[in-house]
Amino acid sequence: MKRIILFAACFICVLFTKAQTIKGKIVDAATKSPLSGATVMMGGKDIASTDKDGMFSFKCTSSVTISVSFVGYETQKRTANCNDELNIELAVAGNTLDNVEITATSNQNKSLLYQPSSITKLSTTELNRGNGLFLDDAINSNVPGVTMNRRAVSSGQQFNIRGYGNGSRGTRGISSNFDGQGYKVYLNGIPITDAEGITVLDDIDFGSIGNVEVVKGPAGTLYGLAIAGVVNLETVKPAKGTSIGQEVLIGNYGLQRYTTHFQYATDKSSLLVNYGHQKSDGFTIHNSSKKNFVNVAGNFQPNAKQTIMTYFGYSNSYDERSGELTPDQYNNDDYSGNIAYIRNNAHSEVLSVRAGLGHTYIFNSHIANTTTVFGTSFNNNASSAGGWSDKSSTNLGVRSTFATKFNMQSGASLSGITGVETQRQNAQAVGYNMKINPLDNQTTGANPWVVGRPYYVINTATSNNATQTATTSLFTEWTLALPHDLSFTAGLGVSNMVIRLDDRFNSATATMPSHYDTTYKGMVSPHFAINKVFNTKFSVYASYSTAYKAPVSSYFYVVTPAAGPAPASSKVNGSLKPEKGEQVEVGTKGSLLGNKLSYQLALFHTSFSNKMTTIAVPNPNNTATLYSYVVNGGEQDHKGVEAFVKYNVKGGKDGFFTSIAPFINFTYSDFKYENYKFMTGTTTANQKTYDFSGSPVAGVSKIVAAVGIDVDTKCGFYGNINHLYRDKMSVTSPDTLYTSSYNLLNAKLGFRKRVSTHFDIDLSFGVNNITSTKYPIMIFVNQLPDAYVAGPRKANYFATLKLNYIF
């Protein structure tokens, strides 16, 4: 009997020992998405591979050391005991270049090294080198080929990507940059750009942004009407744990920013709640700014197959505008502004609500879907020298993509992204002229308006237009990844836009209807690329991309005023075509010297055809402009070189420094007008031919360079110093007026420390424009006498205190 009991006990122990297993899940360290097909090795032999959900398991009898690998990722070793459940995050090989997180791509490997295009990524390091509130300092110093302007302290922001110039204003000149057109901007996957293709950034809280990715050049395949490129913004990602914090920033020119935030994050969920109050007295007359922001962003993973994204944003923004300076004012240091603007209490007030709900579902190891529905309510009232305008709009839309992946023989794989983005806007805009304030007892004429008298007030309506715009883009892109890190990418996007306008101010007549509508369709945007990665350290690529920009509601129709016996008439401008952008780019990226040296180099040739411009038609006597309309004037030929290099030296175990990272970037732009001829006039006597061919594209500096260094220490001190050089640029076409070149020197020094288990502190002091250089924060192209928006004339100081409590 004892032998039987002993035998049974031994048998049970053997069974129990054999039943022991080690389980685990392998995911991408950046995106947290499961990696299917990763290999688990022990003692040089394959013992397991991950399934569609990134899961693996194998039997064990004792503690073991395993090696986990996946193509394009750094191999990781782990020691585990029987019955352990491991959560392993693999980093992309050469991750000094970072991963693409919020930019659409068909490549399964999200490392920038594997993307055959020019994408610049900004993290909190670059975003917080300055005060972190306005974004333009981060863009202008860290994104080669891209300039960000602003019309005042924190309004009228625009991007100029590789010299495109934001399209036609619809009133005068070529390459106008009166508003933001030609590029698309997204926040947490939600379009900020409206259905008409116009981007307003007054209501965006750049102080809450933690990640920026900029796609440079035509991006029509995956983003529709994005002829210049795409800017993707993402709010700060909460660190793991629960915390509340308060930030206070104080600077000269009356700058104040107060931010209160709550952050919560686990392996499967995160929540950010942010409130910001920001104000400034401005750095010139009639230039104050006041803003209130609320941002709520959440990500939740109820199970291994599903992820839910939510975003809600509220903004109440008011910015005064002093108007643009004439060249004489700017050259003579006369910052008194434009009296016609100040008289009309020029400003931009924006009240907006933006919300989005996204859902990702992983069907199996081959296909997953991400769908985001979004909506924006936007209300804006603004005044300028020309009068007052009220605009209310609602944008609704959806973006849905299917990510697909198929493993093939011999280690090859085929991955793709296929989807649709559609957006519709209903808007109403009412314009008014302005008159002397009834409370103003002084007279005009010999006693013109001066600062200190009551502002002008709204008078009578001059226009009332209701518009409906809708755009839809269908797209698909595929990447064939072959052994030896060679990949081919091909894609196709098809876009259309519908514009309808109802004139609710003027009564319809036989020659002048009150309803206009047209459709721009068949805008086909192919994309081809090849990428080769060498030893997972550096890559070489070549690509061809295209995109379009359709006309907007302000100039898709022509109004001809009455002239003699001929009555006023109007019609849709049927000859107006969308602009088209085509780009050929070759480049190389790499992470060398043990991942200490990272670089990107791109050479591109972009051609914009059917470029829109405005023709002013004079009266028969050639004494005044009779009317204006927009035509396709010619081409722009852009050739450029962009380079970025960063060297990151990690400190030793016992050293004072944890990181020393010098960086430099350089942009060379040779942009010219080609075949840019058009004629104005209604009679032989007043006809005039304009020819801009061969002239440099206005609003672009030929050379821009930035150099700097970031330093971190073990004791908590950190700092940076950076220098920006911008070459002269032409203000008008042809190039009869140039701005001066300038240099900006900025620096920041700070101290951050976890003073206890629950308490963090971060104190910093910075100076922008240390040498008090005179420079413009924006140049209005081809709009003389309006030309310059001057930046702060003196050094701009700021100090920041950040307190954070961790539960």
Could you tell me which of 271, 235, 138 has the C-alpha nearest to residue 722?
Answer: 138
pLDDT band, residue 780 (cuts 50/70/90): confident
- Note the pLDDT of residue 443: 63
The residue with greater pLDDT, 284 or 409, is: 284
The residue with greater pLDDT, 359 or 452, is: 359
Could you report the per-residue pLDDT of 108-124, keeping only the tens digit for each?
A: 888 899 999 999 999 99
In angstroms, the CA 296 to CA 396 distance is 19
- Note the pLDDT of residue 171: 43
- Note the pLDDT of residue 178: 67
Could you report the per-residue pLDDT of 611-631, keeping only the tens digit for each?
A: 887 777 776 666 666 777 888
Instruction: Say if CB 674 and CB 713 are below 8 A apart.
Output: no
Q: Are residues 45 and 164 in the same domain?
A: no
Could you tell me which of 642, 629, 579 has the C-alpha nearest to residue 607?
Answer: 579
- Note the pLDDT of residue 254: 95
What percentage of the chain carries pLDDT values higher than 90? Answer: 63
Could you tell me which of 742, 736, 722 has the C-alpha nearest to residue 790?
Answer: 742
pLDDT at 159 over 90: yes
- Note the pLDDT of residue 515: 94
Q: Are residues 37 and 162 in the same domain?
A: no
pLDDT at 77 over 90: no
The SS3 assignment for 511 reads coil
Do the bridges between strand 657-674 and strand 625-647 make them parallel or antiparallel, or are there none, so unpaired? antiparallel
Q: Are residues 61 and 198 in the same domain?
A: no
Instruction: Say if CB 548 and CB 579 are below 8 A apart.
Output: yes
Could you report the per-residue pLDDT of 6-46, keeping only the tens digit for each?
A: 554 444 444 444 458 898 898 877 667 788 778 888 876 77
How far from chain centre, in Å, is Cα 777?
18
Does the CA dihedral 44-49-55-56 come out positive or negative? negative
Task: For residue 393, count CB atoms less than 10 angstroms from its CB and return exposed for 0-12, middle for 13-18, buried for 19 or more.
Answer: buried
Domain boundary among the residues 72, 91, 110 is at 91
Least confident of 21-35, 165-179, 606-620, 789-803: 165-179
Instruction: Say if CB 462 and CB 432 are below 8 A apart.
Output: yes
Could you tell me which of 115, 116, 108, 113 has the C-alpha nearest to residue 38?
Answer: 108
Q: What residues does 404 pair with on adjacent strands?
A: 367, 416
- Provide the number of structural domains found in the chain: 2
In angstroms, the CA 48 to CA 42 distance is 9
Could you report the per-residue pLDDT of 703-743, keeping only the tens digit for each?
A: 999 999 999 998 899 999 999 999 999 988 777 889 999 99
Q: Are residues 456 and 516 in the same domain?
A: yes
pLDDT at 575 over 90: no
Report the CATH number that the domain containing residue 291 is assigned in CATH: 2.40.170.20
In angstroms, the CA 197 to CA 669 distance is 26
Could you tell me which of 606, 461, 570 has the C-alpha nearest to residue 165?
Answer: 606
- Note the pLDDT of residue 13: 47
Could you report the per-residue pLDDT of 337-381, keeping only the tens digit for each?
A: 999 999 999 999 999 999 999 999 999 889 999 999 999 999 999
- Note the pLDDT of residue 11: 44
What is the rounded average pLDDT of the residues 481-503? 95
What is the rounded average pLDDT of the residues 210-234? 96
pLDDT band, residue 755 (cuts 50/70/90): confident
Instruction: Say if CB 35 and CB 27 are below 8 A apart.
Output: yes
pLDDT at 96 over 60: no
Instruction: Say if CB 324 and CB 346 are below 8 A apart.
Output: no
Q: Are residues 53 and 180 in the same domain?
A: no
The residue with greater pLDDT, 355 or 76, is: 355
pLDDT band, residue 257 (cuts 50/70/90): very high
Instruction: Say if CB 587 and CB 600 are below 8 A apart.
Output: yes
pLDDT band, residue 64 (cuts 50/70/90): confident
- Report the half-sphere exposure of 615 (CA within 13 A, side-chain side): 26
pLDDT at 97 over 80: no
In angstroms, the CA 426 to CA 520 distance is 18
Q: Are residues 49 and 110 in the same domain?
A: no
- The arrangement of strands across the sheet holding 119-122 comes to 119-122, 209-216, 229-235, 183-187, 190-191
Report the CATH number that the domain containing residue 22 is assigned in CATH: 2.60.40.1120
Could you tell me which of 209, 199, 193 has the C-alpha nearest to residue 178?
Answer: 199
Tokens in use for 83? 């019955």
In angstroms, the CA 405 to CA 108 distance is 8
pLDDT band, residue 167 (cuts 50/70/90): low
Least confident of 431-445, 482-496, 570-584, 684-698: 684-698
What average pLDDT does the chain have?
89
In angstroms, the CA 659 to CA 712 distance is 5
Could you report the per-residue pLDDT of 628-652, keeping only the tens digit for each?
A: 788 887 899 999 999 999 998 876 5
Q: Are residues 81 and 112 in the same domain?
A: no
In angstroms, the CA 778 to CA 198 distance is 18
CA dist list (Å): 445 to 434, 442, 449, 450, 761: 17, 10, 9, 12, 59
- Note the pLDDT of residue 429: 95
Q: Are residues 58 and 167 in the same domain?
A: no
CA dist list (Å): 328 to 332, 335, 732, 787, 789: 6, 11, 15, 10, 13
Tokens in use for 523? 């805008």
Q: Are residues 69 and 129 in the same domain?
A: no
Q: What element of type H or E holds 10?
A: helix 2-19
Least confident of 59-68, 111-120, 518-527: 59-68
First to last CA, the chain: 60
- Note the pLDDT of residue 782: 79
Q: Are residues 113 and 167 in the same domain?
A: yes
Q: What element of type H or E holds 343?
A: helix 339-343
- Note the pLDDT of residue 83: 85
| Residue carrying structure tokens 């109050």 | 277
Could you report the per-residue pLDDT of 383-415, keeping only the tens digit for each?
A: 999 899 999 999 999 999 999 999 888 888 999
CA dist list (Å): 409 to 73, 131, 363, 412: 20, 52, 23, 6
The residue with greater pLDDT, 540 or 628, is: 540
Tell me which residue range forms the domain holding 32. Answer: 2-91
pLDDT at 3 over 70: no
Q: How much of the chain is helix, strand and coil, in % rounded to 5?
A: 5, 60, 35
- Note the pLDDT of residue 270: 94
What is the rounded average pLDDT of the residues 490-512? 94
- Note the pLDDT of residue 65: 81
Could you tell me which of 204, 94, 186 has the C-alpha nearest to residue 598?
Answer: 94
Instruction: Say if CB 465 and CB 515 are below 8 A apart.
Output: no
Could you report the per-residue pLDDT of 654-674, keeping only the tens digit for each?
A: 678 888 999 999 999 999 988
Domain boundary among the residues 44, 60, 91 is at 91
What is the rounded average pLDDT of the residues 524-551? 96
Q: Are residues 317 and 448 in the same domain?
A: yes
pLDDT at 246 over 70: yes
The residue with greater pLDDT, 779 or 12, is: 779
Q: Are residues 304 and 431 in the same domain?
A: yes
Phi and psi torsions of 793, nearest 5°: -75, -25
- Note the pLDDT of residue 95: 46
Contacts 24+ apart (CB under 8 A), 755-759: 757/806, 758/805, 758/806, 758/807, 759/803, 759/804, 759/805, 759/806
